[in-house]
Structure formats: structure tokens, C-alpha cells
Amino acid sequence: MSVYKPTVANFSAYVLPAVLVFGFCTIIPITFTTVTSLFRWQVGTSLQFIGLDNWHRLITDPFFWNAFGRNLTLVAIAVLGQVGLGFALAMFFSSKAVRYAQFYRAVLFIPVVLSAIVVGFLWNIMYNRQFGLVNLFLESVGLESLVQEWLGNPRIVLYSIGVSKVWQYVGLHLMIILAGIQSISPEIFDSAAVDGAGPIRRAVSIVLPLIRNTLTVSAMISIATNMKEFDHVYAMTRGGPGQSSTVLALYAYRESIDRLNLGYGGTIAIGILLLSAMLILPLRTLVLGKREA
């Protein structure tokens, strides 16, 4: 039986479109932004080469690092909420005792297809102090002391935004993790049931080790999306009250668009990319290292 081997021309014809799209949409913008970070460039003025001055300003910029800390808060909320809750729901819906599981999974996935701006406005209404569902619910169960401005309190505004992001994307992580669970041989679960393993023991001792790579992918997606968070914050708080919810992408937006400082705005953007890589790559390396060991 002969095996078809594609020629270089055929292989290039299939790969070249994807390479061109990736280069045009990713490589060229990153390269251009990296180059502009070496210049003082404000709209209406000519470029002035300043070397690493923008990078020195970035490293010593307290607003940048404060915004990075807020991104880390959102990352922690997302990893615990989206991945942790997604894993718990995936274990629940993978049980044969749950009826209409496919319907519930479809319902949980609906928010994923919504625009982040729409979700931001929706939760803005839900958090409204006068007629928002959150405060109305607290009042209805006798917890009037907890009624407050959820987006107007600097101490909890990031957590309020984080809840909206968990609500929107937990369905995505549920599907990813559920696919990993369904790839496990049913015989393994049958053997565990014969040995008397309960649901928690099966989740901790069987499922978690076998879907470690799936959980890693889910966590990396969660980290990446929250390091570049912009839409929810812009729709819900515009970075307020004060600067208490200003994240890195919003800070880059204000420098580039509001202040027309494209040079330093580009530096912030590349800084976001580097910090995201510093968070994601060690996690990926750690998992791959364990798998090879």
C-alpha cells in the first residue's frame, strides 16, 4: 500500500494562508509595537528615538505595577472560580444520576457567546443599589446590612467584576474539563466503584491526576484572558472608583488613546505580553516536566 507524501508546493499551499494570517495579525503588530516602545511618539509629532527610556519609566511606574496587582487579583478569582467551579460542575454533570445534564450544560454555556460589553452592562444593572437583583435578593432574605454599592466600593469592586467574569466563562471551562473527564476509560470508574471509592475520592485520586493537562490548558486560558482584561472593566466601572479597578489594558488604553502617547502605550502593551508569558510559561513547563518524568 503506497503512502501519499505531499510535495513542498502542496504543503506550502495549505500552510501559507495560516502563516500569513498569523503574521499579519500577530507577528507584525507585536514587532511594530516593540519598535515604537523605543520612541517618544505622540499624535501630531514626529517620532523621536529615546532608546530604553520608556522601559525605564515602565519599570519605575507605580501606576503600572498597581494595575498589574489588580490583574493578578482577577487572575486568582478566575482560576479559582472558572477552573475550580468548572471542575466541580464537570464532575457533577458527568454523573449518570444527573438527569437533563446536556440541557443544563447548554444553559451554562449561553453566557460564553455573549459580548463582554453586554455582560458588563448586564451586571452593572444587577449591582445597582436601588433596583439591582443582588441587593433586592439580600433584602428579601433579611441581609439588609450587606446591601451596598458593589461597583462603588474600592475594597470590593474587583471582586464584583471577577464574579461577572466567572459567571460568563465558567461554562467554557466546564466544557473543556468535561471533555477531559469523558476521555477517561469508564472501566477505571467502574473499578473505583467496586473498591468503594466515593465521589470525592474519585475526583481527587482518579480524575485530577488523569486530566492534569486539561486543567493546565484551562488555567492558562483563564490567566491569559484576565491578564488582557479590558471589556468588563470598561463597561462596568471605567477603572473607578478612582483607580481602584484600573487594569493594565485600560492603563495602556488611556496612555495611547486618551493621552495620545503611543510610544509609552506600546511599552505598556508589550509589558502585558511579557508578564503574561512569565505567568503562563512556568505553569506549562512544570506540567510538561512532570509528564516527561
Sign of CA dihedral 20, 22, 23, 29: positive
User: What is the structure's pLDDT at 292?
Assistant: 53
User: What is the structure's pLDDT at 46?
Assistant: 81
Mean pLDDT of the chain: 89
In-domain check, residue 204: yes
Q: What share of the chain in percent tops pLDDT 70?
A: 96
In-domain check, residue 145: yes
Helix axes 157-182, 62-78, angle to 10 degrees: 40
In-domain check, residue 147: yes
Tell me which of 38-47, 56-65, 120-129, 239-248 is least confident. Answer: 38-47
- Predicted TM-score (pTM) of the model is 0.90
Tell me which of 12-21, 212-221, 274-283 is least confident. Answer: 12-21
Mapped onto helix, strand or coil, the DSSP state of residue 261 is strand
What are 261's strand-pairing partners? Answer: 42
In-domain check, residue 139: yes
In-domain check, residue 35: no
Residues 282, 276: Cα–Cα separation, whole Å? 11
In-domain check, residue 52: no
In-domain check, residue 1: no
User: What is the structure's pLDDT at 134?
Assistant: 94
In-domain check, residue 95: yes
Residues 179, 187: Cα–Cα separation, whole Å? 17
Task: Give the chain's domain count.
Answer: 1
Q: State which residues form the domain around 268.
A: 63-292
Give tens-digit pLDDT for 123-144: 999 999 888 999 999 999 999 8
CB 36 within 8 A of CB 183: no
Domain harbouring 214, CATH code: 1.10.3720.10
Give tens-digit pLDDT for 148-186: 999 999 999 999 999 999 999 999 999 999 999 988 888
pLDDT band at 13 (very low <50, low <70, confident <90, very high): confident
